[in-house]
Structure 1
Amino acid sequence: MHVDSNKENGPDGFELQRFIRAILRQKLVVIGFTVLGAVLAASYAFLATPVYEAKAFVAPPSQNDIANFHYGRMRESELTPYTVKDVYDIYTRRLQGESLRRTFFYKVYVPSLSADERKSSQDVLYARFSQVLRVVPPLKETSDKYSVVVQTNNPQQAKEWAAAYVSQAGDLAKNEMIRNLAIESQVRARNLEQQISSARETSRKAREDSLVKLSEALRIAKAIGLEKPPAITVNQSVIAGGESGQLTYMRGSKALKAEIENLQARKSDDPFTDRLRDLQDKYNFFSGLKTDAALVSVYRQDGDVELPDNPIKPNKRLILILGVISGLILGVAFVLVRRFFAETSE
């Protein structure tokens, strides 16, 4: 059985043909809209203010960068050495912190605006600033590299702001590290000072105890009339005060009296205090411990901040293509709407 292909596709094919004929009859209108779209797009693309982007990349410091943070931090001193991760965590926290953003906003971004731009509310200005400067965390879990991205109309300004933001975060983190070290050193010095005081107090009490024991031994020696040690063989440790000092009187009254006078005339017990000099050396070390900020670094900049050559906005090629496509679509739509109203009126 034969089927007429014209009948099968008749209505649809006829409408498509009418649609194409209508466009072709008014092709100048379509072309006009297309040209208009291209002109408007080109005007925007070439007259819009260009936006330049500068990036600064930072990475963890090396062991050599943080070496001076370890000065005096030993297991024996009860101060655990810092690791690279410990130092870099402080830096990245400062880098992403709101305090630095606010400081940079008020001291750098706002002064760069014109008088008219500053009239906007602080919330609006800060929202714009958040688009101008961004801190991008590592894109991969295995990476530890952060980046600071700045987008402005001035390429030199974008470069300077990116470098300045990274540097200011480094200064804040470095100062925090140095303050932490100073506080820990001061605490350690105070602990040592307390140990020194305790050691001296122990020596003072030991001297007082010796005076009491020797005074009692002197009274016993005088009571029995013993001026000199007896000419008998006696264990010297016993005479010196062994067995709780029971036989100390056997030294004789002369020796006991001389020792008592010597103890009473002693001006300082420091030479007789165990470990005192070692504690004093440690105290002097930690009380005078300082970290030179110029000799340490809390981050490592990965490459220089490059001066951007080409703007990232506007994308002229894309805008021109979109303008031509938009003009073509508007031209076709205008022709179809015009044809629809013309047929309706008929």
Structure 2
Amino acid sequence: MIETHKRQKADENQLNIFDFLLTAKRNKKPLFIINICVGLLTVLYITLTEPSFRAKAVVTPPTPSDLIEFNAIIRVLNQIAIEDEKRESPEYMLRELSTDDAFNLFKRHLSSEKNLDTFLESEYTKNKNITKTEKEKIKTQAKEKILILNPKEQELKNIEINLENKNPEEAENRASTFINLAIQSSHEETIQTLKSAIELHLKINELKIETLRESAEKNRISEIERIKNAYQQAKKIDLESPAMGGNLITSYSGENMYLRGYKALEAELVILKNRKSNDPYIKSLPTLLSQNKTLNKLDATLIRGRLVNIDSSPTAPTTPYKPNILICIIIGVGIGILLSILFIITTISYKRYKDLNKEI
């Protein structure tokens, strides 16, 4: 009997749907007041919260045609390197830009601290007479308003850039500035790489030309000395001209140079001494000079290629990102329901507590 009585008491203490609905019916007014208060607070939050707008832009990889001008210069430089076997090593050869290479370069600049600091300095802290601590605080808050969404590897290679601001027009302008800074810095890096490669090839060619000219001048002076010695030998034996017949020697160079006769040697001395330039006698010089002429005409700064395409430019948003009215309403309704449930449970528990005390 005692066990049965305890079981009955336990069943009575369990919360059932009938007690829940009955309590809700008896407390319509308090529940109505709770939900009205929650609704008013939700409306108050939406009304008092300053709206924040988010400008969005989407960028995509470049097309192969966007990279034609970059790769045209790279091909010229690589062709020059191939013409010289010593420069056929990787340190002199440039890899042509692929669409992935160009887009990865842009992404690196877009996410770089340098690009971010330049943007924050120009848009948030420029010309503001504030302390370094305050400046860092402003930058930290501004960083939270920039969202860069990178795609997954299996999805389209698009990047979405979002920038939040209280003013829709300012959000648009700042988003454009942020993207353009990354485009500019990545373009400048590529141009600088090409300029450095051009300057390197020019420097190597100039050193080769200088070495070849010095070597040619030394050869000219040495040749003059050899001809002088041969001239003296020919004078001693009074050999005015080469022998016309009976001479088995077919080469008049080296030790046999004197056999040319002193008249021919004297004429050659005059030509060598009066020579103003050795360039016509340097075999590889025309190729090097032609390369330099080409290199000097290459101007990487004139390249108008693109490393990225803006698929969707930032535009001034018309609806605020925060507060989101729909989400606020859903949260308000959820809080109202939760508070109502807690109120009903508390009411039932309190009633049972009072009933228990009466029995005692």
8 Å CA contact retained: 1:57, 1:302: yes
Deviation at 1:135, TM superposition (A): 1.9
The structure-2 alpha-carbon separation of the partners of 1:291 and 1:336, relative to structure 1 and needing over 3 Å to count, comes to same
8 Å CA contact retained: 1:156, 1:307: yes
Identify the residue that residue 201 of structure 2 maps to in structure 1: 188
Instruction: Give matches, 1:1-346, under 5 Å.
Output: 11=12, 17-74=18-75, 75-78=78-81, 79-84=93-98, 85-110=100-125, 121-141=134-154, 143-232=156-245, 238-239=251-252, 241=253, 245-293=254-302, 295-334=304-343, 336-337=345-346, 340-341=349-350, 343-344=353-354
Deviates most, 277-286 or 23-32: 277-286
Q: Distance in 2 between matches of 1:208 and 1:225?
A: 25
The amino acid that maps onto 2:140 is A
What's the TM-score, normalizing by structure 2?
A: 0.82
Deviation at 1:38, TM superposition (A): 1.3
List gaps (5 residues or longer) in structure 1. Answer: 1-6
Q: Distance in 1 between matches of 2:249 and 2:159?
A: 75
Q: Distance in 1 between matches of 2:334 and 2:147?
A: 33
8 Å CA contact retained: 1:150, 1:158: yes
Identity of aligned residues (%): 22
Deviation at 1:263, TM superposition (A): 0.9
Q: Distance in 1 between matches of 2:95 and 2:119?
A: 32
The structure-2 alpha-carbon separation of the partners of 1:83 and 1:261, relative to structure 1 and needing over 3 Å to count, comes to same
Give CA-to-partner distance per residue, 1:111-154, whole Å, 9 cap, x none. 699x9x99983444333222211222223345332221112222
The amino acid that maps onto 2:334 is I
Q: Could you say what the CA RMSD is over the residues aligned between the two structures, in angstroms?
A: 3.2
List gaps (5 residues or longer) in structure 2. Answer: 1-7, 82-92
Deviation at 1:110, TM superposition (A): 3.7
Q: Distance in 2 between matches of 1:184 and 1:235?
A: 57
Deviation at 1:15, TM superposition (A): 6.4
SS in 1 for 2:273: helix
Identify the residue that residue 3 of structure 1 maps to in structure 2: none
Deviation at 1:104, TM superposition (A): 1.0
The amino acid that maps onto 1:273 is I
Q: Distance in 2 between matches of 1:94 and 1:251?
A: 72
8 Å CA contact retained: 2:58, 2:310: yes
The structure-2 alpha-carbon separation of the partners of 1:25 and 1:306, relative to structure 1 and needing over 3 Å to count, comes to same
The structure-2 alpha-carbon separation of the partners of 1:145 and 1:211, relative to structure 1 and needing over 3 Å to count, comes to same
Give CA-to-partner distance per residue, 1:198-228, whole Å, 9 cap, x none. 1112211221222222122112211111111
**Equivalent residue pairs, number:** 336
Deviates most, 308-317 or 190-199: 308-317
Q: Distance in 2 between matches of 1:27 and 1:107?
A: 58
Q: Distance in 1 between matches of 2:15 and 2:272?
A: 129
Give CA-to-partner distance per residue, 1:307-333, whole Å, 9 cap, x none. 323223222123223223322432443
The amino acid that maps onto 1:103 is T
SS in 2 for 1:53: strand
The amino acid that maps onto 1:49 is E
The structure-2 alpha-carbon separation of the partners of 1:204 and 1:118, relative to structure 1 and needing over 3 Å to count, comes to closer
Give CA-to-partner distance per residue, 1:9-29, whole Å, 9 cap, x none. 952578654554333222201
8 Å CA contact retained: 1:32, 1:331: no
The amino acid that maps onto 1:318 is I
The structure-2 alpha-carbon separation of the partners of 1:291 and 1:212, relative to structure 1 and needing over 3 Å to count, comes to same
Deviates most, 148-157 or 193-202: 148-157
Give CA-to-partner distance per residue, 1:173-219, whole Å, 9 cap, x none. 11111111111111111100011011112211221222222122112
SS in 1 for 2:283: coil
8 Å CA contact retained: 2:60, 2:158: yes
8 Å CA contact retained: 1:46, 1:316: no
Q: Distance in 2 between matches of 1:192 and 1:225?
A: 48
Q: Distance in 2 between matches of 1:279 and 1:300?
A: 39
8 Å CA contact retained: 1:30, 1:328: no
The structure-2 alpha-carbon separation of the partners of 1:111 and 1:267, relative to structure 1 and needing over 3 Å to count, comes to closer
